[in-house]
Structures are given as structure tokens and as C-alpha cells.
Amino acid sequence: MGKMYVVRHGETDFNVQGRYQGNLETQLNDVGKKQVGDLAKVLSKYNLDLIITSPLARTRETAQAISQFHAVEVLIEPPFMERGVGVFQGLTREEIKMKFPDLWEKNVIKLYNDAPPGGESIRQVEERVVRTLLELKLKYPDKNILIVTHLFIARVIYMHFNKLSHDTASAYLLKNAGMDTYEF
């Protein structure tokens, strides 16, 4: 049986500012670059067969730092891209409360079958991520795979492997440049 390592990208300025990044392109900041450099050194001792990353810059930069220690293929997989949060992207919670008070009051970001306008529901994200995990399991049996992704996607993966509801898993937080390990 292989292992799946799930890594969250390093810190960005949007993380520090408390902004919803969603599918926006943001770069690692200096702290984030140091975080992924430190993580890459730790992971240099791991036996990886494949690295998979979201297509967004912050995850690709993280994957690149890790891949320098491994002679393995790095695949870009769009299903591991962060949840699209539509009109909330780029905004802080306070800005959302001011611009979209009805949506904030409804707590639309946490509803399983609903989403901010232009965004994805939790259900939609869960379906694309779980489908891709199952495809990877079939395509790469007994391999050690590292996935570089985002907080919400890491939460969905955590939810899947631990057989939790989205309500139960909603408090789960993988820190920037943090890693989870699963039997795969």
C-alpha cells in the first residue's frame, strides 16, 4: 500500500490579510518561501513516486521547491485547485459583510449545496476531488504520491479519508506548508 502526502502551499499575503483567495493567482510571500524551503528539506528524505499540484502559482511554486530533491514527474491537476468562492474572492470577511450582508448572514460559504454567486458549492468541490482521488488510486496503486494543494481541498481530502461529514470537518485546519499523510 502506498502513501498520499497532502501539502498546503506556503503563506501568501492574502493569507496574512485574511482574504479569500479562491482561484485568484497569488504568489508565496517571503515567509511562504521559507516555509516551503524548510518543508522541501524535510521531504527530501521521503520516497516519492509522483508529485501532483494544483495549477495555481502558489501551489506550483511549492511543488517546485519540493521537486528539486526528487527525480519524479510533477503533474498539474486542475481538480486540486482551490474552491472557487465567486464574488467573495479577494475579499476579507469584513468586506464581505459590508458588500454582501445577506449572503454573509445566510452563511452561504458553509452550506453544502449552495455557494457565493459565481462560486462552487462544497458538494461540487467534494465530487471533483473525490473522483480524482479514486482515479489516482486506480492509476498509481502502491505508489507514494505527494499532492500540493489548498486549505479547502486539503479539508475535503481529510473529510474523505476519515469518513467525516463536511460539518464535522469544517474546523479542520492544515497550516501553510503543513502536511497530512494517508494510507493510499
Q: Classify burial at 64, counting beta carbons within 10 Å of its beta carbon; exposed 0-12, middle 13-18, buried 19 or more.
A: middle
CB 174 within 8 Å of CB 35: no
Tell me if 58 is assigned to a ligand binding site.
yes
Tell me if 88 is assigned to a ligand binding site.
no
Tell me if 83 is assigned to a ligand binding site.
no
CB 56 within 8 Å of CB 23: yes
Q: Measure the CA–CA gap between 81 and 145, rounded to whole angstroms.
A: 17
Is 160 labeled as catalytic in the residue annotation?
Answer: no
Q: Classify burial at 27, counting beta carbons within 10 Å of its beta carbon; exposed 0-12, middle 13-18, buried 19 or more.
A: middle
Tell me if 183 is assigned to a ligand binding site.
no
Name the active-site residue from 61, 70, 77, 82: 82
Name the active-site residue from 9, 70, 77, 120: 9
Give the residue among 146, 156, 82, 154 at the shortest CA–CA distance from 120: 82
Tell me if 80 is assigned to a ligand binding site.
no
Is 82 labeled as catalytic in the residue annotation?
Answer: yes
Q: Cell 516519492: give the residue.
A: 48
For 22: left if phi > 0, alpha if psi spans -120 to 50, otherwise beta; the answer is: left
Tell me if 11 is assigned to a ligand binding site.
yes
CB 114 within 8 Å of CB 108: yes
Tell me if 15 is assigned to a ligand binding site.
yes
Binding-site annotation: residue ranges for substrate: 8-15, 58
Residues assigned a catalytic role: 9, 82
